[in-house]
Structure formats: C-alpha cells, structure tokens
Structure 1
Amino acid sequence: MKYLALLLFGILLVSCKKEASQDNAVTVSIDTAFAEVETPVADNRQTSDLEKLVAEFSRLRDETRLKLSSLKPEEASALFDAYETKNNEIIGRLNILEGKLLEDFHAHFYDRNGDPAKLHDTIQYKKDLLGKAGLEFWHIGEGMGEIRAKNDYYLKMFRDHVTPDYKRFLMLQSADDSDLWSADAGIAITWEQLSQRVINWENFVLKYPESKLYARAAANYHMYRYSYLFGQDNTPTYEHEGNTLYPEIVDEYNRFIKKHPTSPTAKIVKQMLDNSGNIGFKSIREQENAEFQKAYDGFYGEE
C-alpha cells in the first residue's frame, strides 16, 4: 500500500513534487539558477567518485549562498525549491554510489550490542568528507541507512531569506529530522512526541493554505496523524480483533483532548474513544485512510 511506502521512507526523501501553480508566483528555473555550476569536476585519477559528487554538492551550496544575499523573500523561497531539487539529484547519486554500504549499514556502524562501533578508516574518511559538506550517514531502520543533508542544513541557509511559510516549514522539518520517528515497522518516539508533530503540521496547513509548500506539509500532517491514531505494525494503538484501544492509548488521547481541545485532530481522537470496541471504529479508520491517501496523492501524484 502507498501509505506503507510513505511511512518507511519519510517525506524528506521526495524530490518529485506536484504543486499547483499560483498567481504571481515567483519561479526559478533550475537550469538558469545553477547553470554556472554544471561544469564537471576536472578528471583526476586521485579523486574518487564520492569526492567528485561531494565537491559538486559543495559548489552548488556556495553558489546558492551568493545568490541568496541579493534576493527578495519570494525569490529566495523559489530558489530553495530549485536548490533542493538539484541537491536531491546529487544526494540520490551518492546513495546509489554507496548502495552496498548503506544496505548493510548496521553491520558497519554498530556493534553486536547495538552501540556505535569504531568505524573502519575508509568509512570514517567518507563520514568526515560528507560531514564537511553538510551531509551525513543516517540510519533508517531494517539495518539500512542513507546519505542525507543534515537535519538543519536548509534551515541554517535559508531561514533569514525566505517568506514566513517557508521559514516555518524549514523549522518544523529540521526539528522532525533530528530524530528517527519510525523504524522497523514501529513508532520510535513517544506518543506524546508524535502528537506534537501532528499539531505542528496541523497548525501549518491551517495557517498557510495558500503556501506552495501546502501539499508537502499536508502529506506530513496526515502521515503523522494516521500513525498517531492507528499506530504501525509493531506499535499499534488498538487490539485488532476487537478494535479496542489499549489503556495507555486511551490515557494519551485524553491528555491530547485536554491540551488541544479545538484541534481538528482532537475531534477524531474523541470519535476513536467513543467507538473503541465497536463497529464505528472501522469506519473511522477507513475515513482516515482515505484522507491520508488524498494527501499522499496531492504531493506524490497518483500512481
């Protein structure tokens, strides 16, 4: 199912955006914005493919910083869109290049006890090389890893230049990406922490319905909300045979309603409590799954 793929990989990995055009929107062509950095790295037998890609990533970063200093907020926001797309292309190539290492990530980066291991010199060199450019190895669960931009990479670069909606989006995304929230088919943070992510993105979509980032934010919102309501395979919120909420979830939902009484999610949570153990529970789950699917398709596009 589509929602399983979204829960596994997370919203930050997506580079293919489907966004509605807006009147008077500022757009920045990728080809135009980064034309001067398309020159390939000079061939050097002493330079590895990884070093070449990291150098390309770094040059793009430096060129972008120079551009930002002279742009208006709307232009800076448009530049972020183009820059992130181009970055995702480079990061995708890095992940392909280091695919073998990333597939067996846990064996290289952790010991038998699950603690960080002393890295082999070659891997340590790669880690340091990526780190200097603002990139990092990141564990994504199931023993696998990825290469990604550090969680606050875009926030640090763009927060003083972009429009308020973009700044808020980057703040939320940076905070979310500081922790692995879902791994190995289960929630990896507390229910209360997950509920705060729900509220954060709910507030964003309510405050910025016209933002170019709306579809992306809505996908985040419904991804977190669906997991908060129904859990994941290894951390469900209810007993499946009887559709009965677990006692600790009942306590959490009551806490949520008390803290966020006017939240649209609180309304759904109350329905969950009222219908725990009866046939109405299934209808709520089906409705929320449909909402999740709609938000997913709104950002990813229908398959």
Structure 2
Amino acid sequence: MVKKTLAVCMLSVLVFSCKKEASKVSEPRIPNDSIAKTEIKKDLFKPIDTVYSPENSTEDYMKALHYYQSKTEKEISAGSPEQNNKVYEDYVEVRSKYTEGLSRLHTDILDKYVNYYDSGSDSYKFPENIKKLAAQFKKEGLEFREVGEGYTEIWSVPDHYFTLFKNKVTPDYNAYIAQMAIEAKNNYAADAGLIISWEELGERLIFWENFMKKYPASQLLKTVKKDYNNYLHDYLYGMDNTPTYETADGKLYDENRNEYKRIIKKYPNSYTAKRAQEFLNLFDAQLPVDQIREKMNVENDY
C-alpha cells in the first residue's frame, strides 16, 4: 500500500512539472511598453517636405531638423570617411532647404529684427515671441544673423557642421569644414563693403591656395577654386564701399599696398603673392585701371 501511494505521488509531481514547463514555453513575452511605443513613434514620424509650404509650422521645422541631425549622426557613426563625405553634402542640402523654409515662414520677424536695436543701451530689446523663437533655434543649431543693409537671416551656428562631422570625413573634407566654421564666425562683407581686415582676407587666400595644392583630386576643388577667385577679386579690387584704389586718379591706397607687400614677403612662392606683385607692378607703371583689370583677368562669380 505504501509503495502504491509513493508511486502515485511521484507520478503527480512529474505531471505537475511538465505542465509548469509547458506553461513557461507557451507564455508570451511582454515587451517593455515604453520601448515599444518609442520604436513605433520613430517609425511613424515623417519629416515635412523640404519644399516650402505655408502650412508648415515652426515646430514642424524644428522636428524635421532634429530628425535629420539624429539620422545623420547614426549614419556617420557607421559609415566610412568616403561615405560620410556624401552624407555631409546631403545634410547641408537638406538643412539649407529647411532653413530657407523657416526664413520664408518668419519673413515678418526678419524684416523687423533690426528695429529692436536700442541705441541708448547699445543692445537689442526683443519681445517675448522672438526670445522664444531664438531659444527654439538655438536647440537646433540655428541663429539670427544680421547681414547688413537692414537685413537679417537665419543661419546655422558657425561650428554646427564641424562639430557633427569632425574627423568623420576624409582629410580634405575635414579641413574644408573646419575652415568654413572659422570663416562663418563673422560676416565677410556688408553694405557693399568688406568687413574683415585685408590681412585676414590675404590669409584666407593662402589657406585655400594651399588646400588646392594639398588636395588636387578633392571633390571640393571646384567649389574651392570659385571661392578662391572671389576672394582674390576682392583682395585686388575691393568692393564698392571698400575699394583698394582711388577711382579718380587710379592710385593704390597705402593700406592695400602695404598688405600686398606683407603677403609677398611672408609667402614669396605663393600664387597669391605672384598676383599681388603683378598688381603692384601694373599700378606702378601707371596704367589706366581698366587696362590693369584686363591684364589681371580676375573675375568674381558670386
């Protein structure tokens, strides 16, 4: 009788264990609700089109900018430097279009922006709506930038692209993006006049000249050549409100003559120094300005 009872108990334990294991296997896995919702939310989010529409709000643009920055960060973390060059080009294009859309959306604010300057305190006094907008822009790496003649634009902050792509692209792109961040810190020109110093402009010319020598096969070469020629044009002739010579008598200003001598002495073997020397020689020969321009053959392409 004891043996029978023991056998029945053992059988019961065995059956209960099997049922318990079966229950474990068939029990469905319950995902973490917050994670699942986040993944679904990300999958469902679609940024607004880059083509401007008055239906888009500031918040739409902020979300789109944030989305593409996050997407770009993921892509460059997994991509090769060569692949990331293309990611950079695409990101600049998309971001530029969204920035243009924001500018069109806030035309009224941009038109009135300079009017908030208070000369008495030498500072701006903005209403709350502009303060709020500026704070939103800052989160996505944007800022208001006065560009002269009463105009204000929306720009990416100077180091936005370099912070994102630093050492993630090929050396030529890395050097290019780094230099663009430096040059974007201050306005180049405004009100038809140069803002940076002649010396700084000369140093920019040397940088881009050396860039072209160092990276002759760079995909950026066409863009860099264009920028270099524009800089050289301004370096030699100046701009409407900051010319390098007196229009009436065709005499070079001492400030510019001294700058050309500086660049020639500091970088005697550079192409920039060679063109500066040619320019000096032509003025010293007292040729008419129109003939000097013809012989120099330096055109801008803005």
Using the size of structure 2 for normalisation, the TM-score is 0.78
* Amino acid in the other structure paired with 1:229: L
Residues 1:177 and 2:184 aligned together = yes
Change (3 A) 1:91 1:39: closer
- Counterpart contact for 1:73–1:162, Cα < 8 Å: yes
Give percent identity, aligned residues only. 32
1:208 equivalent to 2:208? Answer no
Amino acid at match of 1:234: N
| 2: CA distance, partners of 1:226 / 1:163 | 30
Aligned-partner residue type, residue 194 of structure 1:
L
Higher alpha-carbon deviation: 132-141 or 271-280: 271-280
1:72 and 2:87 correspond? no
- Indicate the residue corresponding to 1:245 in structure 2: 252
Q: Distance in 1 between matches of 2:229 and 2:127?
A: 40
* Superposition deviation, residue 233 in structure 1: 0.8
- Residues 209 and 113 (structure 1), Cα distance of their counterparts in 2 relative to 1, 3 Å cut: farther
- Give the CA RMSD over aligned residues: 2.3
1:62 and 2:70 correspond: yes
- Quick check: 1:131 aligned with 2:142? no
Matched residue, 2:204: 197
Q: Which one has the largest radius of gyration? A: 2
Give the CA deviation at 1:174: 0.5
User: Over residues 163-218 of structure 1, what are the superposed CA-to-partner deviations in whole Å (9 max), with x where a residue is unaligned?
Assistant: 00100000110000001120111111111111111111121122222211111111
Q: Structure with the greater relative contact order (CA < 8 A, sep ≥ 6): 1 or 2?
A: 1
TM-score (structure 1 length as normaliser): 0.78
Change (3 A) 1:163 1:62: same
CA contact (8 A) 1:37 1:63 kept: no
Corresponding position of 2:11: none
Shift, 1:148, TM fit: 1.3
**1:280, CA displacement in angstroms?**
6.2
Distance 1:91 1:155, change over 3 A: same
- Structure 2 gap segments, 5+ residues each: 1-42, 50-54
Name the counterpart of 2:107: 99
Residues 101/195 of structure 1: CA separation in 2 closer, same or farther (3 Å cut): same
Aligned residues: 254
**Can you give the 5+ residue segments of structure 1 that lack an aligned partner in the other structure?**
1-34, 42-46
Letter in 2 for 1:64: T
**Match for 1:257: what amino acid?**
I
Q: CA deviation at 1:287?
A: 5.2
> Distance between the aligned counterparts of 1:183 and 1:114, measured in 2?
23
CA–CA distance in structure 1, aligned partners of residues 76 and 148 of structure 2: 36
Distance 2:263 2:151 in 1: 34
